[in-house]
Amino acid sequence: MDRRSLLRGGAATAGAGVVSMLGAPGSAAAAPAQRPPAEPRMVLGTQRRGATPAMLREFKRHGVARVCGYPVDPPHDQGTGDRGYWLVSEVEREKERIESHGMEMDMVALPFLGSTLIDTEHRPAIMLGKSPERDRDIEDVQKMIAACAKAGVRTIKYNMSILGVISTGEVPGRGGAILRRFRARDLDHTLPDTIAGKVDADTFWERIDYFLERVVPVANEYRVRLACHPQDPGTPPGGYRGVEENVLSVPGGKGLFKFLDLRTSPYHGLNLCCGTLSEMLWEPQREVYPIVRELVATKRVFNIHLRNIKGRRDDFVETWPDDGDIDHTRIINILADEGYDGAVDPDHVPESDADPAQSQAFAQGYGYILGAIAAARHRS
């Protein structure tokens, strides 16, 4: 039995019927067998940071059901004290603030381990592999897992990033929109290595595993799910700034399956960004759908981000949800078929001078997701 079959078989709720209808990504066997369309169980979510009361009302108006929370940064991260973890009361305060607007907060983002360039990360020790500092930071993560459990928050999202989100420029989009571009041949290879120095793939995986070895048992104890976002984007051949490979974002989605394989816990999983997944593939229009199906079937995808692209690995532009190469309605149908019951969030929406706060762009994203969910509900 191959690795992916083992992974799928280990998902307690996936079921033998689901396993039998899955094949290798891109194969005809990856399509679902004949069965009636499933009723969608997912909801609209948002991950927007810095949500003011006005923004929370805006979310509610646009049909958002779940909001990713951002509890106040611990004193250590504000430079005002030594404590580097949230108190239960701080998580509860953020939860109550969101729930007072009629929405749920079932996920929070860690105050570090974001999608940041390690040179600018205020707590880089985990991804530097630097002890004893990383052990202190990991202990803080353990305490925040416990705080979330006591506050009734069941998911924490995080990143394992060294290079951060890499872009090479912007291109104009419809109506004056500004679209993010990544083209590997335009990367500036005169830039020095990051403060992490030379990091080969094995070293990158060792640092990830060191972290997981210490936090997943605590997540198991408290029944809090840990959702990792893949690195954005994949690195070009030869690597970039000393990093050989963004290991979760290798071609074919193989790094995502390897990441899940590191621990079999139902509390160890992914914040699956379908845009980032598309950006790591050579043929995203063909590859993305069976990979999404296979990952979601593990029941270890805890949150979904939707963004669209035009292009492929090493050469893409991010664009509007209805204007790219990926059919988001098809992804929503896959999520429904596999019983996904988490949130689906718009992600990396285009900017424009007329919409500097991106409120209009996010509103379009919210409406597009709600429309796709409604369409999935009315499939014959």
Residue 17 has a pLDDT of 40
- Mean pLDDT, the chain, integer: 92
- Please tell me what DSSP assigns to residue 247: G
pLDDT in tens, 29-73: 455 556 778 889 999 999 999 999 999 999 999 999 999 999 999
Q: What confidence tens digit (pLDDT) does each residue in 328-354 have? A: 999 999 999 999 999 999 999 999 999
Considering only CA atoms, give the Rg of the chain.
20
Is residue 14 scored above 60 in pLDDT? no
Query: Which CATH code is given to the segment(s) 3-377?
Result: 3.20.20.150
Could you give the 3-state DSSP secondary structure of residue 364?
A: helix
Return all residues near 139 (Cβ < 8 A) that are at least 6 apart.
none
Report the percentage of the chain scoring pLDDT > 90.
88
The residue ranges of every structural domain in the chain are: 3-377
The upper half-sphere exposure of residue 239, i.e. CA atoms within 13 Å in the direction of its Cβ, equals 18
86: left (phi over 0), alpha (psi -120 to 50) or beta: beta
Quote the CA–CA distance of 207 and 371 in Å, as a whole number. Answer: 41
**Amino acid 19: pLDDT:** 37
Which parts of the chain are beta strand (E)? Answer: 43-46, 66-69, 104-109, 155-159, 169-172, 177-183, 225-229, 268-273, 301-306, 308-312, 315-319, 343-346, 351-352
Note whether 280 and 250 are within 8 A (CB).
Answer: yes
Beta bridge partners of 109: 157
Alpha carbon dihedral 322, 323, 327, 332, in 10-degree steps, equals -30
Residues listed for the chain: 380
Q: For residues 48 and 56, give the distance between their C-alpha atoms in angstroms, rounded to a whole number.
A: 10
Question: In the structure encoding, which two tokens stand for residue 21, read together?
Answer: 């209808």
pLDDT in tens, 198-214: 999 999 999 999 999 99
- Between these two residues, 37 and 154, which has the higher pLDDT value? 154
pLDDT of residue 35: 73
DSSP 349-362: PPEETT-TT-HHHH
Specify the pLDDT at position 173.
97
pLDDT for residue 38:
86
pLDDT tier for residue 15 given thresholds of 50, 70 and 90: very low
What is the secondary structure of 163-178 as a DSSP string? B-S---EEEE-GGGEE
Average pLDDT estimate for 275-297: 99
pLDDT of residue 24: 47
pLDDT of residue 33: 57
Q: Which amino acid is at 32?
A: P
Indicate the pairing of strand 351-352 with strand 66-69: unpaired
> What residue type is assigned to position 349 of the chain?
V
| Structure confidence at residue 380 as a pLDDT band (50, 70, 90) | low
pLDDT digits 0-9 by tens, 82-95: 999 999 999 999 99
For position 158, what pLDDT does the model report? Answer: 99
- Specify the long-range contacts of residues 252-256, CB closer than 8 Å, at least 24 apart: 252/25, 252/281, 252/287, 252/291, 253/25, 253/277, 253/280, 253/281, 253/287, 253/291, 253/295, 255/230, 255/280, 256/230, 256/291, 256/295
Q: Crossing angle of helices 201-222/133-151, nearest 10°? A: 30
Residue 21 has pLDDT above 60, yes or no: no
**What is the C-alpha to C-alpha distance for residues 83 and 75, in angstroms, rounded to an integer?**
6
